[in-house]
A and B are shown apart, each in its own frame.
Chain A
Amino acid sequence: MTEPLLRVDHLCQYFGSNKAVDDVSFEIRKGEVFGLVGESGCGKTTTGRGIIRLYDITSGSVYFKGHRIAAGIKSYKDAISEAKKALRGASGPERERLQAIIRENREQIRLARRDHEQCDHLLRPFLRREVEEKYAERLAAAPPEQRAQLLREKEYDLRVAEHQRYVTGIQMIFQDPIASLDPRMTVYDTIAEGLVIRGEKDKAVIDEKVYRILERVGLVREHATRYPHEFSGGQRQRIGVARAVVMNPDLIIADEPVSALDVSIQAQVINLLNDLRRDLGLTVLFIAHDLSVVKYFSDRIGVMYFGKLVEMASSDELFAHPLHPYTRSLLSAIPVPDPYFERHRKRIRYDPLAEHDYTVDKPVMREIVPGHLVQCNQAEYERYCRMMQEGQP
């Protein structure tokens, strides 16, 4: 299988003793929409923010296009301190083994720190070399009158390469379109800001990109000179989308992009995101709590509960065969516009203490059927497999 666009590996994000995200792993392949659902405070937003490096993650790694762009060192530190404790009483080959572990983990910490802090610096020479190579051939082959033009282009590409960062390839759409737009910047400035930071200096290029994207998201050129307060909620969210998409990202993290909008406006924005996704081949990490919207929009869905990913499957599979009791409780709470159904609805309550017995056997992610993973221990695993075979849930 090809390398996924984004791979999140044992991501942990602790705030003091609060484990906001605890050992979350998932992959997003190119062109797919991965939905992350869960109740408020379960860490889905924190996961998104950890990926885009708004937080320094505590432990685990985030790989983007095969490169590690964020890494935490807590797990290595823990391993070292444990080995050191064991070292006191150890001797002989055991001692050497432990020392090897410590060395190994120290090396890992060094690598993690390097990747976390230096990944962009490591990227740039590589990009520069790529540009040099690209133009070397063309310059050699070009007739003299085109050389000046080519040199200008090369210079431009080099400048862009110099400002390139991995994270630029990931863009975020925020929940609240009012709070996430600077009230003192015009729409044009807001959208162009990212381009300027990336080293784009040519006014004509910026103009072209900004106007094209404005039209793409269903606004018009004239809107560029206005301020955010002059727009309705749906239009503001379109500006937020435009700001993210103009950077031509590989991955968009959409953090509850429609939760703050009216139903009718929601549909407009969802349609827009859908069109963009189809036309531009975007990959999206879609964070939301509205399950109908997530189901509609996502290819695969991960369900989070108190910082842990408890179930992950393709969206049809998840809704057809929810296995984890929390997922089932979540699905049973979806409001349906049908009075008869609503009055006879049985909401399943989830009480982790009553549902699971994890005193002996700790749960891990296990694959029940291909592509359908559930957090469970061995006994539960067998039960789920049985349920799956009988087609029960």
Chain B
Amino acid sequence: MEQLEKKLQVQNLRISFKTAAGKVQAVRGITFDLYKGETLAIVGESGSGKSVTSKAILGIQAANALTEGGEILYDGMDLLQIDEQDFCRLRGDRLAMIFQDPLSSLNPIMRVGKQLTEAMLLKSRMRKNNSRTAFRERTHLLEQTMQTRFPERRDLARQMEQYRKMETALGAAEKASTDARQALARILPLLERLCFLKEKNADTAGMPEKILDYAGHARHEDALSEADLQDLRSALDGAGKTPDIRPLLERMQAILDRKPTREALLKRSCPSFTESDEAAFRADAQAGIEAAMERFAKARKEAVSVLESGLEALKSGGIEAVRPHVASMSGAVARCIDPIDPVRDSRACTFAGSLKKFLRTYEDGVRHNAGRQVRYEREMKKAERRQAQGKTWTVPAPSIIDLEQVRANMTGLIEAMIQHLNTPQKMTGAEKTEAVLSAIHESALGMVANMTPWEARERALRLMEEVGISEPEKRYKQYPFEFSGGMRQRIVIAIALAADPDVLICDEPTTALDVTIQAQILELINRLKEERHLSIIFITHDLGVVANMADRIAVMYAGQIVEYGTSEEIFYSPAHPYTWALLSSMPDLDTKERLEAIPGTPPNMIYPPKGDAFAERNRYAMQIDFEQQPPRFQITPTHWAATWLLHEDAPKVEMPESVRHRIEKMKARMEMPSRAATDCQIQTSDKSSFGKCSTVRPAKEGQA
């Protein structure tokens, strides 16, 4: 888990909505990380704040939403702070979302084909431009780095120019080769299907033409030769009778298996750049980068001392005292950021912004707190008068800023930054050089990756097929209203995937679909995750759906995460009563007895409960649940739950019968000594004091 790259970090996010009835606290301090290539499932009832969280990540909150705190870090940016223009670059391109309601997320007067290809074409143009800029910038930075290391060398500029040329040529060659091979790969299943249909005497109209169309695009040295093409044509021309295309199929498969190596492509595209040239360049680049790493290590040390002095001032003199240090701290941290690093240091990049945000909040508090308090008191008096008259009258709580909290947040921020700077860099010089050079290669590829309308249509059709839409050619030209509900949902999913995003947020994507399609789409999302190292946030209320998908699961209730762990931990040893309730309230195939429904409804978040939010509906609630919020009890390093039942003084409580049965059955099915077979019951030593306790103090937070 440590090696994984963090794609998205949500820290202590708090979101409220201003309404006429008062402030609705929809999200109350949630923290989670999303790693590259993993799926995080957020499970909870409607109204638990899961959709609000996802919308905050996309920056599409309602106008009355109020972000009260926290940060969402993505690629060196705090998504809560960047402006709309920057968001436009991210949304739909790197962060995509599948919405719950397909009707409202499709344009009714645009054919679905256009809606599908729109993002692809726009993105391709944008990617081309961005890649060009990135390529120039990166090579330029690399040159500068090398120049600093070897100030006396005159030939560096020429060497760099050669390298640039080589990368550009290689990128173009690679692109042409992959395109042709992709078209070829597309032919194979079509040919097989054609054989199959001919055997069954079914209709094959249009298929030979389609295959030939692909074959035209697969004409390349690494794919189909002219002779292969001729063979294919003659085989397909034998209409009526079953063509013998098995040998042809095998030949094509052999071509596909023979992947062109980088050396071969390089030799073909840029013969003047030899291997020794490359080795020399690589050695120089590495030397430059290693020197730079040393410089930045020194800068980090300096920044730590600056931050420490700032922290000292903050701790002794409060926020006013730290104000003069802000500029120097921001500057020191900014100097630690290595611009050439392909993975941006998100914590360092957002440090200055977060610091400023806290200062602003503090100023706002100092200026307005008193006024707000006065107004609130006036309103309260009015309310009392009204209530005395027998009218119902509620007063929204004042939005008074807790200055101590701001100071504590700031301290936390600086401390985290210091710790971050003190952690030694994991990458060695060679690894970093490799990363930088591959990033350059990546942007070189991006420069030539121009998507033609034919390609876009092709990809759209393939996506439509992948999400289970039959006759995609016909459907491509239809309008959304011509589709049924399930079909529309599939189009929405296809659109989200069309942009090839980094982070995909799925907000109940399959709730309206039936099981076969649901399974199909979940498999599709899983496959794309594998192929593209997609990070997925999967929001649902159905635990059954996420068992297949999730690497980790966060169970949300009333705006907070109540249990968090890997998929196995949540399913095989759930610890929070709410998770138990969710598991026991759905029937499985062997359920005969009455379902254990969760009584009541989620609490009104205008007046969030004082203690554990779930206490009112909880069969296992104790006195303390109504009085104090439970802290997180760490069960394993990756699994924690916020419930008093895990406290050492709590009485021994077993999970409901039905859940226990189910887990036993699952373990029996696994037929192997279960890793998660740790006793699911809560261990207890002393229960005398907990029956009616209000004296128990929360245990130490986060033992691990």
Contact = CB atoms under 8 A, between A and B. Distances in A.
Contacts of B598: 264, 267-268
Given A263-B585, A319-B589, A354 B666 contact: no
A118 interface: no
B518 interface: yes
B515 interface: yes
Given A41-B484, A262-B45, A353-B202, A335 B518 contact: yes
Interface residues of B, number: 55
Contact of A267 (B202, B543, B567, B595): B595
Contacts of B196: 353-354
A338 B596 contact: no
B225 interface: no
B670 A263 contact: no
Contacts of B601: 232, 234
Contacts of A290: 515
Given A263-B542, A335-B518, A340 B589 contact: no
A197 interface: no
A347 interface: yes
A265 B596 CA distance: 11
A2 to B, nearest CB: 27
A270 B588 contact: no
B587 A347 contact: no
Given A295-B589, A341-B666, A262 B541 contact: yes
B669 A341 contact: yes
Contacts of B581: 264
A294 to B, nearest CB: 9
A293 interface: yes
A296 B547 CA distance: 21
B596 to A, nearest CB: 7
Interface string A170-199: 000000000000000000000000000000
A38 B582 CA distance: 26
Nearest to A294: B587
B391 interface: no
B596 A267 contact: yes
Given A39-B517, A263-B582, A270-B595, A292 B547 contact: no
Contacts of A262: 45-46, 541
Interface in A86-128: none
Nearest to A350: B516
B153 interface: no
B671 to A, nearest CB: 10
Given A40-B484, A333-B519, A338 B666 contact: yes
A292 B589 CA distance: 5
B515 A330 contact: yes
B192 to A, nearest CB: 12
Interface string A300-323: 000000000000000000010000
A347 B547 contact: no
Contacts of B511: 259
Contacts of A350: 516
B519, B662, B670, most chain A CB atoms within 10 A:
B519
B586 interface: yes
Interface in A319-350: 319, 329-330, 333-343, 345, 347, 350
A274 interface: yes
Given A39-B486, A270-B587, A341-B669, 14 more contacts: A39-B514, A40-B486, A40-B513, A232-B601, A262-B46, A262-B541, A267-B586, A289-B513, A291-B515, A292-B586, A335-B515, A335-B518, A338-B669, A339-B550
B355 to A, nearest CB: 41
A107 B38 CA distance: 68
A233 B543 contact: no
A339 B591 contact: no
A289 B515 contact: yes
A338 B547 contact: yes
B46 A335 contact: no
21 contacts: A38-B514, A39-B514, A39-B515, A40-B513, A40-B514, A264-B582, A267-B585, A267-B586, A271-B595, A274-B594, A292-B588, A292-B591, A295-B589, A296-B591, A333-B518, A334-B589, A335-B542, A335-B545, A337-B662, A338-B547, A339-B571
A232 B45 CA distance: 12
B237 to A, nearest CB: 24
A266 interface: yes
A292 B587 contact: yes
| Of listed B523, B595, B596, residue having the most chain A CB within 10 A | B595
Interface in A231-278: 232-234, 259-260, 262-268, 270-271, 274
A359 interface: yes
A233 B46 CA distance: 9
Contacts of A270: 587, 595
B594 A335 contact: no
A345 B518 CA distance: 14
A347 B592 CA distance: 25
B544 interface: yes
Contacts of A264: 45, 541, 581-582, 585, 597-598
B593 to A, nearest CB: 10
The 3 closest A-B pairs by CB, nearest first: A289-B514, A267-B597, A342-B548
B82 interface: no
A350 B468 CA distance: 13
Interface in B38-56: 45-46
A359 B568 contact: no
A340 B441 CA distance: 39
Among B512, B601, B670, residue most surrounded by chain A Cβ atoms (within 10 Å): B601
A264 B577 CA distance: 13
Given A40-B484, A41-B484, A267-B586, A337 B543 contact: yes
A271 B666 contact: no
Contacts of B332: none
A337 B523 contact: no
A329 B601 CA distance: 36
Nearest to A343: B548
B696 to A, nearest CB: 29
Contacts of B548: 335, 339, 342-343, 345
Most chain-B CB neighbours within 10 Å: which of A38, A260, A270, A296? A296
Nearest to A38: B514
Contacts of B544: 292, 335-337
A175 to B, nearest CB: 10
